[in-house]
Structure 1
Amino acid sequence: MLILKRKPNEAITIGDDIEIHILSVDGDQVKVGIEAPKQVEIHRKEIYLSIQEANNEAASVDVLDETLAFLKNLKHQ
């Protein structure tokens, strides 16, 4: 993990096309702005984890449903 100190109105660059701007600091809250290409998905960590969990659940349900359908077809043959 890289740790950097930044003040309001300063920025950090990631690669050639992502910039993170420190907009303000108010107590223990930091407001950041992120400039990135539209194809780069940006989420808060808790939202990202929620999306991953939902995707994993959906994938496991699909596999289970497909397996059950396959077994039913075998039984009827």
Structure 2
Amino acid sequence: MLVLTRKIGESIQIGDDIEVKVVSVNGDQIKLGIEAPKHIDIHRSEIYQQILQENRNASKLTLDTINLLKNTKND
């Protein structure tokens, strides 16, 4: 892990397309601004983990559920 010290208004560059800027500091909270291309998804870590879990759950469909979906589609 790379650890950097930045002040308000300073930023870091990730590759050619992503810039992370320190917008403000208020007590123990830091506001970051992220500039990235629209095709790059940006999520808080806990939200990203929820998305991954939902995707894992969705991939565990049983054969019965798949057949039920097929039958519903044909009705």
Query: TM-score w.r.t. structure 2 length?
Result: 0.83
Unaligned runs of 5+ in 2: 68-75
Letter of the 1:51 counterpart:
I
1:65 deviation in Å? 2.3
Unaligned runs of 5+ in 1: 70-77
Aligned residues between the structures? 67
1:65 corresponds, among 46, 63, 70, to: 63
Structure with higher helix content:
1
Matching residue of 1:13: 13
Spell out the pairing of 1:1-77 with structure 2 (5 A cutoff): 1-61=1-61, 64-65=62-63, 69=67
- Is the partner of 1:21 in helix, strand or coil? strand
Across the aligned residues of Structure 1 and Structure 2, the Cα RMSD in angstroms comes to 1.6
Query: TM-score w.r.t. structure 1 length?
Result: 0.81
- Identity score, percent: 52
Larger radius of gyration: 1
